[in-house]
Every structure is written in structure tokens, then in C-alpha cells.
Amino acid sequence: MRIVLKLAMGTALAITAFYAWHCATKKQSTHQGPPSAKDFSMNKTTLTLLGLKYPFTLAPLPYDYKALEPHIDEATMRIHHTKHHQAYIDNANKALEEVAELQKYTIEELLTNLPSLPESVRERLRNHAGGHFNHTIFWQMMVPNAQPLPTEKVAHAINEAFGSFDAFKELFNKAAQSRFGSGWAWLCINKEKKLVVTSTANQDTPLAAGLFPILGLDVWEHAYYLKYQNKRMDYITAWWAVINWPFVEKLFTDGLKAVE
């Protein structure tokens, strides 16, 4: 009887010990995994233009590759869209495959929360999710047979902010021309609902600075070098003939609500 009791007590002790060990290991393993999404402290953003989420894909251009000729040539458009833009998409997707907890966020949430992103993917998302965002809106900001001047609401806002359309154009051209190296020139709405001209380096977006972009120009050499070589200003001048002003007006209307 005593032996049976001792055996039973021994078994109970062994089970208790095993259970304690099991819990300890389980606890340890949950702490060794990747940080959970809440650790990234991601803020919501009202600066949403596209709302795109992982996996990102390349949308077809809303016009033919040769449709912006003679201002922007077919070869440049084709390579820019199918090679450069595709590469940004592929690299952004690869980064998000590595940190699956980030896949649920919109591209705007990722780009307005760069400092909160894990270091292992932060720079890649800055460059490649940024590149995907910038190019997706850029294609829509151009159109064949464009009207030469802004639509009424945008024209009014431009006059209010810069004095005249020509003064705005001069300021924008200067921002585009003087951006050293690769980058973008932008017309944006700021938090005070005023239009501002700015430029960003590489694939940085205005979103990261709290600005809502309504017009942008890619001044990377890949955007113009085949046709214009080193003459960036000739490309900038030609681009004014292909601006999709009704789309700019749509973004302007959306942006006024978004920055509220």
C-alpha cells in the first residue's frame, strides 16, 4: 500500500514538473518570435489616396505606351512602367513577405509610419513602397490630348497660393530642376489646406511630411534620359503638355477632406 502511494505521489510530482517545464518553454517561445503588430505602434492616417495593400501589383497604364508622344516617348514609358515600376512593386512585396504583420496596412499607413517600421525593412519600404505609390499616381496624372490649363477649382487655388498660374509654373519648374540627383517635384495640400510646391529625394513621398500630393513629376533620369539625355529642363517643359488636370482636381477635392 505504502509503495503504491509512493508511486502515485512520484507520478503526480513528475506530471507537475513536466507541466511547469512545458509552460516555461511555451512562454519563452512566444517571446522569441517576431514582434507583434502592436509593437510597431502604427498610426492611422487620413492621407489616403490609393489604399493599396500587399500584395502590390502593376496596374496597366490608363493609355497606350505611345499615347504621350511626342512629349514623352514610347520606349521611356514602356521601360519606366514595366521595368522600373515593376521592380519597386517586387521589392516592396519581398520586404512585406519578411514581416507578415505589416501586410494588413495600406501603403499610406506604411509610408506615414516609417519610423515605426522594423529596421530590417524600413529603408526598403521607404524606397520601394514609396516608388510604387509615387508611380501609381504619376501615371494617372498624365493623359493624352491634355487640356493646357487647370480646371476651375484648382486654377483658383493656384492663383490664391502663388499669385498666378505662371508664377506657380515657375516655382514648380525650379523645384523640379533644382532637385539634386533623383527625386520628384510636387504640388501638395498642407494641413492648413493651402497649396504648396515641394520636392522629395529618391522615392520619398510627400505623405511622410504630412502633405497630400495632387500633382507630381518624376525627375529621375530614367524618366527622361532616352529622349532628353542630360536636358532635364526640356523634359520638364514638355511634361506640362500632358497633365491630367481633371484628375488633379479630383485629388484636390479628395485632399481637402483628407487633411481635415
Contact positions vs Mn ion (CB under 5 A): 218, 220, 223
Q: What is the nearest approach in angstroms of Mn ion to the Cβ of residue 204?
A: 13
User: Which amino acid does the sequence have at 62?
Assistant: P
- State the DSSP H helix or E strand holding residue 86, giving kind and residue range, or none if neither: helix 86-98
- For 182, half-sphere exposure in the C-beta direction (CA atoms, 13 angstrom radius) is 12
Q: What is the nearest approach in angstroms of Mn ion to the Cβ of residue 63?
A: 17
Q: Would you say 176 or 259 has its CB closer to Mn ion?
A: 176
Alpha-carbon distance of 221 to 229, in angstroms, equals 8
- Tell me the C-alpha to C-alpha distance, in Å, between residue 37 and each of 33, 99, 231: 12, 9, 46
Residue nearest to Mn ion (CB): 218
**The Cα angle at residue 139 between residues 92 and 142, in degrees rounded to 5:** 160
φ, ψ at 196 (rounded to 5°): -135, 145
Q: Would you say 65 or 220 has its CB closer to Mn ion?
A: 220
Q: What is the nearest approach in angstroms of Mn ion to the Cβ of residue 152?
A: 30
Q: What is the nearest approach in angstroms of Mn ion to the Cβ of residue 223?
A: 5
Q: What is the nearest approach in angstroms of Mn ion to the Cβ of residue 142?
A: 12
Q: Would you say 224 or 245 has its CB closer to Mn ion?
A: 224
Query: How many whole angstroms from its chain centre is CA 106?
Result: 9
Q: Would you say 218 or 249 has its CB closer to Mn ion?
A: 218
Q: Would you say 109 or 218 has its CB closer to Mn ion?
A: 218
| Helix, strand, or coil (residue 35) | coil
